[in-house]
Structure 1
Amino acid sequence: MMKSIFFIIITIVLFLPQSTLSRSPTCNKDDEKVLFKIKKSFGNPYHLASWTKDYDCCTWYCVECDANTGRIIALTIFAGSTISGKIPVEVGDLPYLQKLVLRKLPNLTGEIPSAIAKLTQLTMLRLSWTNLSGPVPSFLSKLTNLYFLDLAFNDLSGSIPPELATLKNLDALHLDRNKLTGVIPESFGKFTGKVPDLYLSHNQLTGPLPKSLGYINFSTIDFSRNQITGDISMFFGTNKTIERADFSRNMLEFNLSGVVFPASLSSLDLNHNKIYGSLPAMLTELHLNLNVSYNRLCGQIPQGGDLQTFDTTSYFHNRCLCGSPLPACK
């Protein structure tokens, strides 16, 4: 008798998880209709060949459904050479979408449609490595649940909308590798929630850095390859926790001698600017990757720490910098 009861219990324990795992969500028919419109707008590309009535749309390539409701929560179209045209406005008709990724699609053109502003549940938006043009839309600030916004490697132009600083959940903002102009918004020193990693490199940004950027604590900043002027001392200090900073290939002009770098700093690239003064001795206390080449620095490279482990390319083409690993000071 006891053996029979034990056998029944074991059977139930083993059977229930299997039946649960074997169930898959049934695609919501409204979402399915929207996906067919998106496919048609893209010209019925081969990349979306699995999008047919023969299969439940939760099993389609590039699509992810919620396991309980069958609603579309992710649309990820990546590296599809047959995808061409503009971003379909129908994308905005997937109300439960949390992740939208259109990446490495060289034939994707046009502007970012305002319909995306309807996707209020989005946590990730990646429209990168495409030929999208036009401005960075200010309406993206309505996507208040975003934690990751990536618009890098496009053909976007115009200024950076200051409204993006109201995205309080943002962990990272990628606007690099575009044709953006104007200044970095003052509002970027007043992020209302998290302080995101900022990637603004390879644009045409100009003007001095807003002093407001010194009011908050960044972890990663990449402003390289722009035409930015001014002093970056505001990003550093004993109370800062910045880890990675790339300001290379700009027009920065300030005295480096008195800058205090925090112990958290692990990478600092200042090459190709107009920075003068000497290297602070406290750099010997840090473990970091360093490049200060092509500036106007003078004096002896402080001895100690990691500073002598770099090759000469980290230091050369300065006005009168000397000492190991460069030639000895005269």
Structure 2
Amino acid sequence: MDKTTTLLFFLFTLFLTTSISKELCHRDDKNTLLKIKKSLNNPYNIIAWDPKSDCCSWTAIECGNATINYRVTSLDISDDQISGQIPPEVGDLPYLQTLIFRKLSNLTGPIQPTIAKLKYLRFLRLSWTNLTGPVPGFLSQLRNLEYIDLSFNDLSGSIPSSLSLLPKLGYLELSRNKLTGPIPESFGSFKGEVPDIFLSHNQLSGLIPKSLGNLNFYRIDLSRNKLKGDASILFGAKKTTWYIDLSRNMFQFDISKVKIAKTVNILDLNHNGITGTIPVQWTELSLQSFNVSYNRLCGRIPKGGDLQRFGSDSYLHNKCLCGVPLKTCM
């Protein structure tokens, strides 16, 4: 090996060693994470966060690539014994794209206002905790949000109409809270694509905004609320809806002429005040789950398709519904 080759080999080895030993994590991000750890009283899942090691290698953390200088892009703290509130320092991770606090039964207090600083945030899941207060309107400032899950909390108040302003929102989950008031009228005019909407197990009331009838929902769940009126506007033969659950409300409409998209796979209308006869068109559906029990339906259950595949529990307690799987029509 000549001198030039030896020198090049030495320089390459030195560069490789330096690169490997260099810490990728940004100093500001590391300091912020250590503050978060302290604020949460050093919980078990992140107790191994060592100030002497690279924070990009820590559990519950992901860093972006070199294009953003290996800044922290994901923080996921789940399934832990945490007491306290969401640390305000989460807003000091400026490149965060994913923020998850999930299955933390002793996490309390409101949704931290400093989250409004996270301009790159795309995925927000604060679920299965004991968070209180309102669904914050400041979420509409986070224009890159694609996914919001605030389910299984104790959130109260009305749903902010400003959520419809999010141009990239594809999924909105607010189920199992204590939300009241109507579904916002603005939800009939989302700025971007029509998101999947899950609002079940709340105390929402009033009529469904007529503007929602113009939307082509893929999945919508309004079950177990106090909603009333005509929900037939959500159906349509030309739509591509796959999942619709309106059960346990106070909806009243005649189902006889309701055309349902052939794409519907899950349909639950139980415990309402729906009248009329089940349309023959429904025999064209390929159904995985189906329930129209506890309504005021009448007439013969159409034969064919998947309608006879479901047991009597899917049809019980209607005014005068008959035919397989119920009693024979007279």
Instruction: Using structure 2 for the length normalisation, give the TM-score.
Output: 0.92
Deviates more, 1:86-95 or 1:63-72: 63-72
Percent sequence identity is 56
Query: Which residue of structure 1 lines up, in the alignment, with residue 99 of structure 2?
Result: 100
The C-alpha deviation readout for 1:279-321, integer Å capped at 9, x for no partner, is 0110111111320001010000001111111110010111110
The question of 1:195 aligning with 2:194 is answered yes
- Matched letter for residue 46 of structure 2: L
Aligned counterparts, 1:1-330, within 5 A: 26-68=24-66, 69-81=69-81, 83-288=82-287, 289-330=289-330
Within 2, Cα distance between the matches of 1:77 and 1:94? 15
Within 2, Cα distance between the matches of 1:25 and 1:164? 39
Per-residue deviation, 1:26:
1.2
Q: Which structure 2 residue ranges, 5 or more long, are not aligned? A: 1-12
Q: Which structure 1 residue ranges, 5 or more long, are not aligned? A: 1-14
CA contact (8 A) 2:34 2:51 kept: no
Within 2, Cα distance between the matches of 1:200 and 1:142? 21
SS class of match (2:91): helix
Structure 1 residues 211 and 23: alpha-carbon distance in aligned structure 2, compared to 1, 3 A threshold: farther
- Matched letter for residue 214 of structure 1: G
SS class of match (1:64): strand
Within 1, Cα distance between the matches of 2:258 and 2:21? 61
The C-alpha deviation readout for 1:28-72, integer Å capped at 9, x for no partner, is 001111111111111222322111223111111111111322211
Within 2, Cα distance between the matches of 1:132 and 1:27? 30
Within 1, Cα distance between the matches of 2:134 and 2:140? 14
Within 1, Cα distance between the matches of 2:54 and 2:280? 65
- Matched letter for residue 324 of structure 1: V
- Matched letter for residue 114 of structure 2: A
- Matched letter for residue 64 of structure 1: E
Within 2, Cα distance between the matches of 1:24 and 1:169? 37
Q: How many residues align?
A: 312
CA contact (8 A) 1:95 1:118 kept: yes
Within 2, Cα distance between the matches of 1:209 and 1:42? 41
- Matched letter for residue 78 of structure 2: F
- Matched letter for residue 31 of structure 2: K
Deviates more, 1:53-62 or 1:305-314: 53-62
SS class of match (2:307): coil
The C-alpha deviation readout for 1:146-183, integer Å capped at 9, x for no partner, is 11100000000000000000111111100000000000
- Matched letter for residue 303 of structure 2: Q
Output the aligned Cα RMSD. 1.7
After TM superposition, which residue ranges in structure 1, 4 or more long, deviate above 4 angstroms? 21-25
Per-residue deviation, 1:238:
2.2
SS class of match (1:282): helix
SS class of match (1:308): helix
Structure 1 residues 123 and 25: alpha-carbon distance in aligned structure 2, compared to 1, 3 A threshold: farther
Within 1, Cα distance between the matches of 2:282 and 2:326? 17
Structure 1 residues 165 and 24: alpha-carbon distance in aligned structure 2, compared to 1, 3 A threshold: farther
Within 2, Cα distance between the matches of 1:312 and 1:133? 41
Within 2, Cα distance between the matches of 1:173 and 1:24? 40
Structure 1 residues 255 and 35: alpha-carbon distance in aligned structure 2, compared to 1, 3 A threshold: same
Per-residue deviation, 1:107:
0.8
Structure 1 residues 293 and 76: alpha-carbon distance in aligned structure 2, compared to 1, 3 A threshold: same
CA contact (8 A) 2:231 2:252 kept: no
- Matched letter for residue 321 of structure 1: L
Within 2, Cα distance between the matches of 1:307 and 1:53? 61
The C-alpha deviation readout for 1:109-141, integer Å capped at 9, x for no partner, is 000111000001001000000000000000000
- Matched letter for residue 27 of structure 1: C
CA contact (8 A) 1:25 1:70 kept: no
CA contact (8 A) 1:24 1:67 kept: no
The C-alpha deviation readout for 1:174-211, integer Å capped at 9, x for no partner, is 00000000000000110010110000000000001110
- Matched letter for residue 168 of structure 2: N
